[in-house]
Amino acid sequence: MSHREDDDRHLARAVALSREHMENGAGGPFGAVIVRDGVVLAEGWNEVTSTNDPTAHAEVVAIRRACREVSEFSLKGATLYASCEPCPMCLASAYWARVSRVVYANTRDEAAAIGFDDSFIYDEIPLPPERRSLPCEHSPREDAKAVFEAWLNKADKIRY
């Protein structure tokens, strides 16, 4: 199959997951699939309300499962297929996981139209901490700076 046909197939699967697990009550209508070198590493779907975990978005769930599958904290070379544009939490988790490409169907605006905060959070993240609707206060501390200094000098650290 062509690259394009692979994309269509994996994105269709992400959408099918979004419907299946919305219908069975797992959470919101979101699904995700992670693929590397033609191999499906993991699937995920939203489980926020069924597991009482606000971080259990489809993409985060899929990333965690894929990393468990490969026993690594990097998914370099992998593509994340998502039934909806990843929210800032999920997008940032894709950066931390070193995902190489994201393909999505619905948009943050379409998510906003059915009651999800993705677009609002996208607007909040770039604001200076003191201007956000969620108050973020900087309270500098010497002990905190000293821990960073210790990390810099740690001989056996594992970078990520």
Written as six digits, the tokens of 148 are 């960073």
In a 3-state reduction of DSSP, which class is residue 12? helix
User: Does 68 contact a second copy by CB under 8 A?
Assistant: yes
User: What length is written for the chain?
Assistant: 160
CB closer to a second copy out of 38 and 140: 140
Among 24, 93, 83, CA closest to 61: 93
User: Does 37 contact a second copy by CB under 8 A?
Assistant: no
Spot the catalytic one: 5, 43, 47, 59. 59
Binding mask 1-20 for a second copy (x = CB under 8 A): ------x---xx--xx-xx-
Active site residue 20: no
Residues in contact with 104: Cβ distance below 8 Å, sequence separation at least 6, in sequence order: 11, 81, 82, 83, 84, 85, 86
Among positions 71-130, residues that touch a second copy (CB under 8 A) are 71-75, 83-89, 91-107, 110-111, 113-115, 117, 120-122, 124-126, 129
Residues labelled as active-site residues? 59
